[in-house]
Amino acid sequence: MDIIKITGGRKLYGEVHVQGAKNSVLPILAASLLSKGTCVIHNCPSLSDVTASLAILRHLGCRAKQEGSTVIIDSVDASRFDVPHDLMSEMRSSVIFLGAVLARFHRAELSLPGGCELGPRPIDLHIKAMEALGADFCETAGNISCKADSLNAADINFTLPSVGATENAMIAACAANGTTVITNAAREPEIADLQNFLNAMGAKVKGAGTSTVIVEGVSEFHGCTHTVIPDRIVAATYMSAAVSAGGEIFLRNTEKTHLEAVTDALRQTGADIDCMGDVIHIIASDKPKAIRPVVTRPYPGFATDAQPPVMAAVLKAEGTSVFVENIFENRFRHGDELNRLGADIRIIGRVAAVTGVDMLRGIPVRASDLRGGAALVVAALGAEGETLITDIHHIRRGYDDIVYDLNCLGACAGILKK
Ligand code: UD1
């Protein structure tokens, strides 16, 4: 069981290359199942969720290999339509395979992804979208099985803009007869990236990034080459790290338009943030100030995934910062661990009030989930002494090599093997 050890209380000076986006690469890997050729995907981070996706693709009969940050998938001989429980449970977002398996084989058998640390994660919208396209579902003992004699275009209107359901609907609609119109679609940049990948394989999708996505079904998908967009949540984490520890850092391979809500919040601390091309340059304030209420919303609102690291950035800011979590029920679990480091966070339901303290002190803490773990890293950089973070498998689901990156930024971080 590895532990991240961070000796905090030193300012960050340095630069780092931001990895490709986890939330892009996972649906893209699933969508590669449609191809009757070889897909070469660049800027792919090395994450446990990527390893889990490749294991699912191999189980389905694809050849898949990762060479550095490039993944190569050959789906020509894919032949299975079932994903067993052990592979599904490796990754919380494995439901993203539903649309792709259904599109390729007109049937799919998956175990349910189950609840998770962020509270219940229903998949009703995914299922309704597949039903609209012609699939019949049957659910038994935690497994879903679905079948479609043919997939036919539909008008799909989501009651809320779910990221995963939008992606599943787009992927399945690519192989449906006719033109599907998805309304109240999620608008996240990763959905536009998926559209670009699908179109590179020969699909005809437009509108991704807006709330209406139009998919004209096609019958053949060929191989392609695609480069995954930069990970905006990893960039937000390292920007938060600079505010927490102080100093001056450069982040390369970023897309500033994906980060506006976070940049706006962190500038309120007094940080000077400049964006030039794909580089973000941040000079932290020596005396950070509290920020206006952060309210998480679907994109282009403030990302729920950026809420934990940004909260950790303002633990020592002068005044009180308020966070309202609207997307997931159970997304303040990092609050207790941050308080153990000396923070003053009060949580009532979906609202957390963070009153700045003079000092944080490093102690052993436990990562409760992926972004909650990132929040502990951010806080540890601003804490005096050593922080030991356990359960870092959560962090490895989303950060390629966070310890290496932190050391590039001038932090004192390492892995203890236990
Ligand atoms: C994706 C991201 C995750 C991010 C989240 C919100 C990936 C791999 N993961 O997750 O990092 O935190 O978007 O930006 O891209 N909901 C339903 N029914 C459904 C589906 C969702 O009620 O069928 C609800 C969820 O409970 C949640 C909200 O919709 O309250 C948003 O969830 P959704 O956008 O689907 O998140 P994910 O796609 O799971």
Between the CA of 383 and the centroid of ligand 1 the distance, in Å, is: 32
What is the rounded distance in angstroms from the CA atom of residue 383 to the CA atom of residue 363?
A: 9
Q: What is the mean pLDDT of residues 193-222?
A: 97
pLDDT at site 19: 98
pLDDT at site 111: 86
What is the rounded distance in angstroms from the CA atom of residue 80 to the CA atom of residue 82?
A: 6
Q: Is the CB of 74 under 6 A from ligand 1?
A: no
Which strands form 320-324's sheet, in the order they lie side by side?
294-295, 320-324, 351-355, 344-348
What is the rounded distance in angstroms from the CA atom of residue 301 to the CA atom of residue 299?
A: 5
Q: Are 15 and 407 in contact, with CB atoms under 8 Å apart?
A: no
Q: What is the mean pLDDT of residues 185-210?
A: 98
Ligand 1, from 29, 137, 162: best to mutate by most atoms within 8 Å of Cβ? Answer: 162
Q: Is the CB of 23 under 6 A from ligand 1?
A: yes
Cis peptide leading into residue 300 (ω within 30°)? yes
pLDDT at site 24: 97
Q: Nearest to residue 90, comparing CAs of 45, 136, 57, 126?
A: 57
Q: What is the mean pLDDT of residues 128-152?
A: 92
Between the CA of 173 and the centroid of ligand 1 the distance, in Å, is: 20
Q: Nearest to residue 134, comparing CAs of 160, 96, 169?
A: 169
The percent of residues in the chain predicted with pLDDT above 70, rounded, is 98
pLDDT at site 38: 97
Q: Is the CB of 118 under 6 A from ligand 1?
A: no
Q: Taking the alpha carbons of 44, 88, 296, 193 in that order, is the dihedral positive or negative?
A: positive
Quick check: 131 pLDDT over 80? yes
The percent of residues in the chain predicted with pLDDT above 90, rounded, is 91
Atom of ligand 1 at shortest range from CA of 27 = 8
What is the rounded distance in angstroms from the CA atom of residue 278 to the CA atom of residue 63?
A: 33
- Residue 294 — pLDDT band, cuts 50, 70, 90? very high
Residue 363, token pair as written in the block: 């102690």
3-class DSSP state of 28: helix
Q: Is the CB of 26 under 6 A from ligand 1?
A: yes
Quick check: 31 pLDDT over 70? yes
For the stretch 37-58, pLDDT in tens is: 999 999 999 999 999 999 999 9
Q: Is the CB of 123 under 6 A from ligand 1?
A: yes
Q: What is the mean pLDDT of residues 319-343?
A: 95
pLDDT at site 175: 97
Relative to beta strand 38-42, strand 224-227 is parallel
Residues sharing a CB contact under 8 Å with residue 348, sequence separation 6 or more, in sequence order: none
Q: What is the mean pLDDT of residues 266-270?
A: 98
- pTM of the shown model: 0.97
- Residue 140 — pLDDT band, cuts 50, 70, 90? confident
Q: What is the mean pLDDT of residues 377-404?
A: 96
User: How many Å is the Cα radius of gyration of the chain?
Assistant: 21
Q: What is the mean pLDDT of residues 238-242?
A: 98
Between the CA of 326 and the centroid of ligand 1 the distance, in Å, is: 11
Atom of ligand 1 at shortest range from CA of 93 = 8
pLDDT at site 121: 73
The torsion angle over the Cα atoms of residues 60, 50, 391 and 162, rounded to 10 degrees, is -90
Residues sharing a CB contact under 8 Å with residue 181, sequence separation 6 or more, in sequence order: 155, 156, 212, 213, 214, 215
User: Ligand 1: which residue has its CA nearest to atom 29?
Assistant: 162
Residues with catalytic roles: 116
Q: Is the CB of 164 under 6 A from ligand 1?
A: yes
Q: Is the CB of 52 under 6 A from ligand 1?
A: no
What domains appear along the chain, each with residue ranges and CATH number?
3-19+230-416 (3.65.10.10), 22-227 (3.65.10.10)
For the stretch 17-27, pLDDT in tens is: 999 999 999 99
pLDDT at site 120: 65
Task: Provide the mean pLDDT of the chain.
Answer: 95
Residues sharing a CB contact under 8 Å with residue 180, sequence separation 6 or more, in sequence order: 133, 153, 154, 155, 156, 169, 173, 214, 215, 217
3-class DSSP state of 300: coil
Q: What is the mean pLDDT of residues 47-71?
A: 95
Residue 66, token pair as written in the block: 């990762």
Q: Nearest to residue 144, comparing CAs of 96, 98, 90?
A: 98
User: Ligand 1: which residue has its CA nearest to atom 26?
Assistant: 121
**Largest pairwise CA distance in the chain:** 64
Between the CA of 163 and the centroid of ligand 1 the distance, in Å, is: 5
The torsion angle over the Cα atoms of residues 283, 237, 209 and 75, rounded to 10 degrees, is 130
Q: What is the mean pLDDT of residues 351-356?
A: 98
For the stretch 96-120, pLDDT in tens is: 999 999 999 999 999 876 545 666 6
